Amino acid sequence: METQEEAHDVEKGAEGEEIVSSQTPDRQSAATRTSGTRHRASSSRPGTQSEAERQARLIGQLKAAEARARIRALRLRYQRIRANEINHLVASQPTATKAMRLEALLPTKPSSPEPPDPLDKLQRFRIEQILEDEQGLTTKRTI
């Protein structure tokens, strides 16, 4: 049975190659034209861009910034509503013990896993260099 399936696949493969080679020149050239325009657009200099291209790029950047602002506003709204709901649930508990337990289990603000690193890449690299220097060549200098 496997040999019959393999023979069938070989026949399909040969037909597929014939179909690709018999494509109209218009379809083939359309594919090459679109890839060529992408290449030209990326390699063009910023000074040679037309005013319409600059306007289109600027509009795209503005739309992206507006979308980011909308997403941020939705995220903040969700967090505020969630915090209000949790506070309401805590306040409606019959005993203080249950309220404290619920408050401990459901934090109102999502906690970040780690605080951000106060050092940038260059500072971090420099500190690691100093720590790895066993002979003290980096810090012991005679002038």
Q: What is the pLDDT of residues 51-71, one digit of tens each?
A: 999 999 999 999 999 999 999
List the beta strands (DSSP E) in 43-103: none
Number of H helices, E strands in the chain: 5, 0
pLDDT tens per residue, range 68-98: 999 999 999 999 999 999 999 999 999 999 9
CA angle 48, 52, 53 (to 5 degrees): 55
Which token pair is 84?
């209000």
The span from the CA of 87 to the CA of 106, in Å, is 9
What value does the mean pLDDT take over residues 45-50? 68
The pLDDT score that the predictor gives to residue 141 is 72
Cα Rg of the chain, angstroms: 32
Q: Which residue has the tokens 């605080």?
A: 115
The span from the CA of 109 to the CA of 86, in Å, is 10
The span from the CA of 51 to the CA of 82, in Å, is 46
Bigger pLDDT: 50 vs 113: 50
The span from the CA of 138 to the CA of 130, in Å, is 6
